[in-house]
Amino acid sequence: MSLRIGSRASKLARAQAEKVSFLLNSLGVESTIVLISTAGDEHTGVPLHQIGGQGVFVKALDDALTEGIIDIAVHSMKDIPAERPEGLVTSAILRRDSPADYLVTDIDLDSVKSVGTSSTRRTAQFKRNFPGIVIGPLRGNVDTRLSRLKNGDYDAIVLAEAGLERLSLSLRGYRLDPAVHVPSPNQGTIAIVSGTDPAILAIVSKIDDPVTRTDTLLERRVMEIIGGGCFTPLGIFCKNRQMIVQVLSLDGDREFRTERMIRDTTDAERLGEEVRDQAGSLIREAYARLGLTHD
């Protein structure tokens, strides 16, 4: 059986699709990669919350699956929104790569005065942990972001360490401790989405990592209960069921943080409800300042 793998066209997305293709090939399954353009790739000049958030990288691939153009789609799991179309499932979650953010810079950390990132989470964390640093907008693929650094637009930029590893890029800078700069839910994880064809599910399930699946699905359940997603400064990280949740104000001057062991989905839901009750005002405030509505 040969599988058509849907992927965004960026270098990073292709590298992730090629990793899935390699794993399938190791099982004796042939595959071809089909490149799909998404709204998130076509509109890089504005923040994600202004063009639809996480789903802008996913919808075109979802449509390609439902229309039978591709058999499976490969995503950075953190880009997959909570609400999913009927008939599509996360059929495999690969073993997690580094969950950490990475500060790319050629200068000493003490000399960094400006940082490029369009993430509200990263912006709030830098404002909180490095007061005085100026934060500026930065979107686009990895090459585009690195070019802004090379051109001197910023002293440093923030990227996901996993993305650099997948592109085999070794850059000067600093790994940011995920216990301090708590990453986005599911950061560092590649997920495969498909329909419910039993033959495809049987193949793809062989490259699923149970430990990563448990940790990332617990993260997602907490995220779903809290609300907010990529629109708000929200970090959620679970490793071997040990969960860290961090909610910040947009300016990073206020924070709610909690850590605990999560046994199952019920525990995750309880934690999400607790965070929503105690930090809901920060989330609602962030939505209001971004000009968004929050249920």
Burial class of residue 4 (count of CB atoms within 10 Å of its CB; 0-12, 13-18, 19+): middle
Res 49: pLDDT: 45
Res 295: pLDDT: 59
Res 146: pLDDT: 95
Report whether 231 contacts 120 (CB < 8 A): yes
How far apart are the C-alpha atoms of 80 and 55, rounded to whole Å? 6
Question: What is the residue extent of each domain of the chain?
Answer: 101-176
Tell me if residue 146 falls in helix, strand or coil: helix
Res 232: pLDDT: 84
Q: Annotated catalytic residue: which of 71, 79, 155, 215? A: 79
Mean pLDDT for each 10-residue chunk of the chain (295 residues)? Answer: 95 97 97 86 48 67 96 96 92 98 96 96 96 93 94 97 96 97 97 98 98 98 84 93 97 96 98 96 89 69
CA distance from start to end of the chain: 45
Is 108 assigned a catalytic role?
no
Taken in order 286, 162, 24, 61, the sign of the CA dihedral is positive
With 0.85 as the threshold, say if the pTM is over it.
Answer: yes
Helical packing angle, 265-289 and 210-226, nearest 10°: 50
Residue written as token pair 């090379």: 150
Res 192: pLDDT: 98
Res 139: pLDDT: 85
Angle at 139 between CA 34 and CA 225, to 5 degrees: 85
Residue written as token pair 């934060």: 135
- The CATH number of 101-176, from 3.30.300.30, 2.40.170.20, 3.40.50.12160, 3.40.190.10, is 3.40.190.10
Res 228: pLDDT: 65
